[in-house]
Structure 1
Amino acid sequence: MTKAITCTLCEAMCGLLITTSGDRVTGIRGDADDPLSAGHLCPKALALADLRDDPDRLRAPVRRTADGWQEITWDEAYDLVAGALARIRRRHGADAVATYLGNPVTHSLGGMTHAPPFVNLLGSRNRFTAGSVDQLPHQVVARLLYGHQWLLPVPDIDRTAYFLIFGANPAVSNGSLMTAPGMARRIRALHERGGTAVLFDPRRTETARLGVDHHFIRPGTDAALILGLLRVILTEGAATPAAYVDGLDEVRHAVEPFTPERVEAATGVGPGTVRRVALEFAAAPAAACYGRMGVSTQRYGTLCQWGIQLLNIVTGNLDRPGGTLLTRPAVDAIGQLDPGRRGRWHSRVRGLPEFGGELPLAALAEEIRTPGPGQVRALLTVAGNPVQSAPGGPALDQALAGLEFMAAVDFYVNETTRHAHVILPPTEPLERDHYDLVFRMLAVRDTARYSAAAFPKPPGARHDWEIFRDLARRYRRLVRTGRWRDALMLRLRPDRIVDLALRTGPYRLSLARLRRHPHGIDLGPLRPGLPRRLRTPRKRVRAAPPPLLEAVRQAAADLLTPAEPGTLLLIGRRHLRDNNSWMHNSARLTKGRPRHHLLMHPADLAARGLADGAPVRVRSTTGEVTVEVAASDDLMPGTVSLPHGYGHDLPGVRLARARHLPGAPVNALTDPAALDQLSGTAVLNGVPVTVEPSP
């Protein structure tokens, strides 16, 4: 039997055709009839079968005991978790119970519809997500410029003539906050129609090898370059902004220090390149500027994203076909989401402000370790693996061991969930219905697709939304709390929620109609919608918000200071065959040539007397790791690179294959105190390190 489904392992939302026999997967291929992915698939999709068959995946609730993990019934698990959370809340207050929602939550329909209302039910201000080690600078800038954190303009890659990229590798990520499956094909099509793609990155990535005009840039200095490009456009009369844009005089004054010559000293990018790229971008008939993880997770990530938006705004490419446009998804949740308020409360220890209802993940360990009123004593994690992804992972690992109680909704025992007292495993992706609520809001084309589960739910299993619903019922018997809206959401099935949203959405679709079109419905290319869709007063783009003007004033001297000779700066990297800190238990994805090495330029190896392939010790101000080094001309001299999420080597972890996967946890080298101050995002790129022979 062959069924049409959507892959849920990354943001690309690729349509798949899966062939089954009984309860086994016998084949997976791309769905050529999917209007967005058009038959594209990557190796991760093929690993869905590995995930289904993995003997390490939990299929029933387990409780941690002195003798190891013991299976228990769902009723026992619910009672243990609800009882412990309620008891700690009564004794110490709601803030004593913290929550963490990992990246995989956004890839699950039930996780998206039911995890947030359950978190609301707990009533704690100690809410953490993967967003603060990922994309919050995008959202902060969208809130300040456009009035809502989820008004995120998307590059119209299929119609642009000039694609300018900073710190992103879309050939591997398939976009990321720009859902675009088959990016290699899309970039080749851009070249075939006579267009240009330009990339600034400290590493010559898979994207750079697609005939892109690639330029090295010193890690952590992208904001200086972006603001320098902006200065050229504004001072040389190349700006053509829309009439509804305010504040460009203030922007022009703010970027005055960023001359091409001073930018070169800081970034390593020559003045001629700065001027040429700026004027080419401004002169193109349609151009789109885009930046992602490499620029978001650095010290001035929010300034980077502000500058990227300004490049699109001042050249008239915001809301232009071939430029950057807002999507018009069939389920438009903008009105139901927090617009991105900031500073309504602060973390107890460091006084860090919340944004959009969450605190920076970098604060979690200290909130657990530091005694006093409001100390975190219990934690609920939902998917994710913050011990492997949060800055200062070893310190968080130690902090979790001291919790009074921890529960996890996850189907693996990993570096994080090994500390849980109870783990409640949801069904695996092929056993769930799916509709992408978030990534349809970020796609390069408007489409809608509902996927029925490829396999029925096994007897005794629970979907993630059922876990939250049943936990909420027990918790509310013990603690009479929560808003009626959250209680209602927890009672509704996800398919009912989607159907209501489709019927009231801009296209007046229904779940029944989507079921009749299992390959999806094409709703057309992105269309202009500004200024009508702005959420700002008087429907104006606020190009110069005071917090950003003040931030660039304070940062200018630091951004334009050349690096000390001999400094090594660490960056991360992503691979097509894994997904951050997960999917390392798939034989299909972990086979082949090792890819865990510290990459280093041959000149930097020679200067330190290091041999290609030898073990080295990498040190930062907060930690050290030992890993093999590999020589690579793909790195800018002075740059080293480690992949994110490797180094699974802890006792009690039930990931047999991942436990033996070589590598080192790069987050052992990152500092929880180092944050982008405007967004609270962790600094994961541009980290100063030393590299020496391993003793």
Structure 2
Amino acid sequence: QRSAQVFYINPRLIESASPKTGEVIQILPDTDLYLMAALLHEMDALGRFDENVIREHGTRIDALRAFIAPYSADAVAEVVGLGADTIRDLADTFSGAERACVHMSTGVNMGQHGTLCYWLLQMLSFVTGNLDKPGGNFYSEGFYPAAKAGRARLDNVFFPSQHGEMRHIRGALAGNLLPDMILDDDNPIRALVVIAGNPLLSVGGEGRWRQALEKLDLLIVIDLFRNATGEYAHYLLPSADMLERPDLNICGLGMQYQPYVQYTDAVVPPAAQRREEWWILSHLLQAMGRHAPMLEQDPPRPFGRLDHMLSRTGLCVDTLAQQPSGTTVLDTQSIGRFYTDFIQTDDKRVDCCPPLFADAMELANQQFQALTTSTPAFRLINLRTNYMHNSWYQNVPTLKRGAHASNALHMNPADLQSIGIDDGDEVEASNTYGRVRVKVRSDDSLREGVVAMTHGWGNRQTPGMRVAQQHPGVNINALLPNGPGSFEKLSNQAFMSGVPVSINPVATQRTRA
């Protein structure tokens, strides 16, 4: 309404976009890295890099320029599925704007180059002088200075293992390796606690997961809903839901233009024997004879850590609870403080091309060359609907109706015609990791060559969930890479979006010439 231009880069015509809100540029999945490299390449060619900002706040700009050098708009156009002029126009519009910001979310992170994509995203803001400026990108401090969590040791971050080279990300390992670690003959994981998760259907390699879960000596599942993973549990423990427990939401920390903090009390007591996760885990520790610090306090203080976080603003949970609506709006002003207060590099400068990325950059270059000679016929992306959130709603009767009684494979109408099938026909989707049979649904929101499907389904082998077994759907994650090499080593994120697949009509049904 104030004459801003908004561009959505997505393989799909998403719901947020309209003639009033912005234009969708339909890229091919998992090629975002090459588009951003081309945007930077063209901006540099236009002389739009802010040399004063780079000189004052940046390092290793030459290495960044060396990486983007091969990726001109003409070079990447066919790989990303966009015209070279479209890419040049986008680079000109962004870098020529008085103010500009850029945002990325989960879909890109789930590709093969998530970390490099987030790197180039930050570079788009930094080199054009839009970082830490009003109208550009800035770090929102929130009620706690979480920026220090970004201070990372960048030497010797990888270590060898029988499952290949690995890295801890704040203590976590790659979930795609968990079945291999359970099935390891020499030093297996023998016990597992799953909290609010359904890895059996939400991670690639369902067959391998079933073998692993059957081998565990102990599986504890803590959740609001039953799920397929819980069918293997030795103990299935019900947790309190969002209305049965007090809460202080920290998910928005660092993502608020006007920082605020809000506490909400429980609305109702937990039903039956449901308990909060901290209570369950503390009592398990106590029963094992281990230290359970929360239970040693009278009364227990599950919000102790949050009290510490709030203390820098002069608040605590108790005082916050007394505020109107349990809410305090903070006067933290973050813009203009990034380079002095928040950046975590030792020299307080933006590293434009961290040496840690070298192997990932080389892999990206190799994969780009492969894409110039061979393009997958179809690429699979995830599709979210209001009727299935991850896999939690699979056993809810009211959400299994009409077109949502199962999960179809969405395809562009032109793609249906090209392989001689109609809306509602059955196809086989396959790749080197698996194959599934599924009905197709015509969907003109997808660009040609892109197929989409909602995950979290596939409950044919879940007898304890009556509704879910009556409407099992298809586990599309059977087509996801799994095991060693199936995730990005820098982040441990599994490759889950833009996965190449083949689509063929089921042989027994009618086909068109």
Per the normalisation by structure 2, the TM-score is 0.89
Contact 1:321 1:526 in 2 (8 A): no
Q: CA deviation at 1:592?
A: 5.3
Q: CA deviation at 1:496?
A: 3.8
Q: Aligned letter for 1:649?
A: R
The equivalent of 2:6 in structure 1 is 197
Q: CA deviation at 1:328?
A: 1.7
The equivalent of 2:511 in structure 1 is none
Is 1:354 the counterpart of 2:168 in the alignment? yes
The equivalent of 1:514 in structure 2 is 320
Equivalent residue runs for 1:629-648 within 5 Å: 629-648=440-459
CA separation in 2, counterparts of 1:544 and 1:489?
A: 47
Equivalent residue runs for 1:250-649 within 5 Å: 250-333=63-146, 339=152, 343=157, 345=159, 347-372=161-186, 374-458=187-271, 460-477=273-290, 487=293, 492-503=300-311, 505=312, 507-515=313-321, 516-518=323-325, 520-523=327-330, 527-528=334-335, 529-531=337-339, 532-560=341-369, 561-562=371-372, 564=374, 567-587=377-397, 589-591=399-401, 593-594=403-404, 596-649=407-460
Q: 1:562 to 1:635 in 2, by over 3 A?
A: farther
Is 1:670 the counterpart of 2:480 in the alignment? yes
Q: Aligned letter for 1:693?
A: P
Consecutive unaligned residues in structure 1, runs of 5 or more: 1-191
Q: CA deviation at 1:231?
A: 1.0
Q: Aligned letter for 1:363?
A: L
CA separation in 2, counterparts of 1:649 and 1:379?
A: 24
Cα deviation 1:479-498 (Å, max 9, x = unaligned): xxx7xxx8469855223433
Q: CA deviation at 1:476?
A: 3.3
Secondary structure in structure 2 of the residue aligned to 1:379: strand
CA separation in 2, counterparts of 1:632 and 1:214?
A: 16
Q: CA deviation at 1:554?
A: 3.9
Cα deviation 1:480-535 (Å, max 9, x = unaligned): xx7xxx846985522343333312x2x22232332222262222586222112112
Q: 1:279 to 1:338 in 2, by over 3 A?
A: closer
Q: CA deviation at 1:407?
A: 1.3
Compare relative contact order (CA 8 Å, sep 6+) and give the higher one, 1 or 2: 1
Q: CA deviation at 1:452?
A: 0.4
Cα deviation 1:203-259 (Å, max 9, x = unaligned): 112123464211121222111111110111123210123522222122111110001
Q: CA deviation at 1:451?
A: 0.4
Q: 1:347 to 1:550 in 2, by over 3 A?
A: closer
Contact 1:347 1:353 in 2 (8 A): no
Q: Percent identity?
A: 28
Q: 1:566 to 1:327 in 2, by over 3 A?
A: closer
The equivalent of 1:234 in structure 2 is 44
Secondary structure in structure 2 of the residue aligned to 1:618: strand
CA separation in 1, counterparts of 2:200 and 2:410?
A: 23
Q: Aligned letter for 2:417?
A: A
Q: CA deviation at 1:678?
A: 2.5
CA separation in 2, counterparts of 1:642 and 1:425?
A: 30
Secondary structure in structure 2 of the residue aligned to 1:376: coil
Per the normalisation by structure 1, the TM-score is 0.67
CA separation in 2, counterparts of 1:658 and 1:679?
A: 33
Q: 1:592 to 1:332 in 2, by over 3 A?
A: farther
Q: 1:209 to 1:322 in 2, by over 3 A?
A: same
CA separation in 1, counterparts of 2:376 and 2:276?
A: 53
CA separation in 1, counterparts of 2:184 and 2:304?
A: 43
Q: 1:524 to 1:332 in 2, by over 3 A?
A: same
The equivalent of 1:224 in structure 2 is 34
CA separation in 2, counterparts of 1:425 and 1:571?
A: 32
The equivalent of 1:147 in structure 2 is none
Contact 1:326 1:526 in 2 (8 A): no
Q: CA deviation at 1:609?
A: 1.6
Q: 1:335 to 1:257 in 2, by over 3 A?
A: closer
Q: CA deviation at 1:587?
A: 4.7
CA RMSD in angstroms, aligned pairs only: 2.6
Contact 1:469 1:490 in 2 (8 A): no
Cα deviation 1:160-183 (Å, max 9, x = unaligned): xxxxxxxxxxxxxxxxxxxxxxxx
Q: CA deviation at 1:563?
A: 6.1
Cα deviation 1:397-418 (Å, max 9, x = unaligned): 2221121221122243311121
Cα deviation 1:593-618 (Å, max 9, x = unaligned): 42721111222212222121112211
CA separation in 1, counterparts of 2:440 and 2:296?
A: 49
Q: 1:336 to 1:548 in 2, by over 3 A?
A: closer
Q: CA deviation at 1:591?
A: 4.5
Q: CA deviation at 1:327?
A: 1.8
